[in-house]
Amino acid sequence: MNADQRESSVRVFFALVPPPDLQRALGDLARDVASRMHGRAVPPENIHLTLAFIGAWPLSGLAALANVGADLVAPAMDIMLDTLGSFRRAGIAWIGIVMPPPELTLLASSLATALAAANVPLEARRFHPHLTLARKCRGPHPIERAGPYPWHADAMTLLQSQTRSEGALYTSLARWPLGERQALQRAR
Q: Which domain holds residue 19?
A: 10-155
Give the CATH number for residue 91: 3.90.1140.10
Q: Which pLDDT score is estimated for 182?
A: 43
Q: Is residue 180 part of a domain?
A: no
Domain count for the chain, please give it: 1
Q: Residue 154: what are its φ and ψ, rounded to 5°?
A: -125, 15
Domain membership flag for residue 137:
yes
Backbone dihedral angles phi then psi of residue 67, each to the nearest 5 degrees: -65, -40
Whether 113 has a pLDDT exceeding 70, the answer reads: yes
In this model, does residue 108 exceed pLDDT 60?
A: yes
Kindly state whether residue 93 falls inside one of the protein's structural domains.
yes
Tell me what the mean pLDDT of segment 86-109 comes to: 94
Residue-wise over 24-33: b if at least 16 C-beta within 10 A, else e? ebbbebbbeb
User: Does residue 37 belong to any structural domain of this protein?
Assistant: yes
| Tens-place pLDDT, residues 153-163 | 999 999 999 98
In a domain, 178, yes or no: no
Q: What is the pTM of this model?
A: 0.88
DSSP bridge partners of 158: 14, 174
pLDDT tens digits for range 22-72:
999 999 999 999 999 999 999 999 999 999 999 999 998 999 999 999 999
Does residue 100 belong to any structural domain of this protein? Answer: yes
In this structure, is residue 161 part of a structural domain? no
Cβ atoms within 10 Å of 59's Cβ, excluding its own: 10
Residue 186 has pLDDT above 50, yes or no: no
